[in-house]
A and B are shown apart, each in its own frame.
Chain A
Amino acid sequence: MAVFVIRRLIGMVLVLIAVSFITYLIFVKIPGGDPAQRIAGKLATAQNIEDIRKKLGLDQPFYIQYFDMMKAIFERRLVSYQSQLNVVGQIEAGMPATFSLCIGAGIIWLTFGILVGTISAVTAGRLSDRLITVLALIGISMPVFWLGIVGRYLLAEGNPFHIFPDSGYVPITQSPVQWLYHLLLPWFVLAVLFIGFYGRVLRSTVLDTINEDYVRTARAKGISPRRVLLRHVLRNSLIPIVTLFGLDFAAVLGGGAILTETVFQLQGVGQYAAQSITTLDLPPIMAVTIYATFFIVFFNFLVDLLYAWLDPRIRPT
């Protein structure tokens, strides 16, 4: 087990290096990506650009530039070319909003996804199953930005059925109640797609599992139907859901909730990433890339550990 963990940790570091390096390479090679030219502006002379290049160390060979930037990120002194603000500081400033949004939404989509998928499978073919199927497909098909805007239009302050405040983020340290109140709508908007998707996946795995021989054995043992469902059917059906959740949750934490953050004006990491990309601001792009890659790699690692715990057959011995 220890060997497995160490091997995976080394692998994580390698993936981080590879992803950041490739991102850097792509950025430097794209047309219009040269930071010196962008900073100098339209009326800059060749001398101006050369000075900026020298000042930022962009006259160095490519791999040294990469190394310098990585060093600056980990020493927390990398600043944006545009705003001159500290990049790591900016990401940290965005993390509470992003984490609040993603953790809340994650809990909601996992809970409701499992609930909806199980109900759908247990009542397969009946009205509730068909209803859930239709709703799930609608949920999967609705784009988040549309759902968010419609949600705001209908349910937020100053609108027909006003229940929620109209966007914004209140730190939990400032007022837990306001924090919750402001996040409820974004949570559900972000979660809807995943609820529908997880519900569909779980429905089919539960239906497969119900027909397994060991479920028949469990029923023949005379244990309660509830216990058969929880201990024998769901326990085995949830294994694929774990993989999905690990990847999806890491992706939204790593900036995948851009649309929700933008619609609800939550100043999170996703929004920061979106701004940096539109202005082709290299330092924040690199920092956000590493931040996002870290979560994806890390959650993948957690999924593998969880898998071994859930399924004794794949435990490394």
Chain B
Amino acid sequence: MSIILSAVLTLLALAVIFGAILGFAAIKFKVEGNPIVDEIDSLLPQTQCGQCGYPGCRPYAEAIANGEDINKCPPGGEATIQTLADLLDVEAIPLDAEHGEEKGKQVAVIREDECIGCTKCIQACPIDAILGAAKQMHTVIADECTGCDLCVEPCPVDCIDMISVPETIKSWTWKNPKDQAFKIIATDRNPEVRV
């Protein structure tokens, strides 16, 4: 009897001690916010375009953390879906066409002589990448523009174009050799290979 009692008491004591430690830790090391949301947010392209149906990248990140599909971000495209799938350990699914298609990098350009200076696009730009003032010509800071095209719709004179960013000699990178028949110098081997 006493054996059973002492065992129960011991376990009880242990339970109380560990409970206290856990309770203390829960208060002391409390994590503010949901860290997974930050991680998801850092993978999203931050265009703040709202094509996913949420009012920005962070709200979509929160929705993903709560079980929303990961395939609603056209600017991020397949690459973002893949990284999100890796992070969340879920299956990578193809992009949901309902929200738009992957277009490649774009940048907004204002046809400046047609601009009437209404400031509507400035108000629409989520990242303050348009400069200008009332009744003054506006212009897009191309380096800051994420190509979200939110400024196109509010323009009353339709003077904003979305142009794909052309590849320059500076931005050029080697292409995947898998996709192309390359004329590769380095693989040219002489018949006699001496190592």
A in complex with B: no
Interface residues of B (CB under 8 A from A): none
Which residues on A are within 8 Å of B, measured CB to CB?
Answer: none
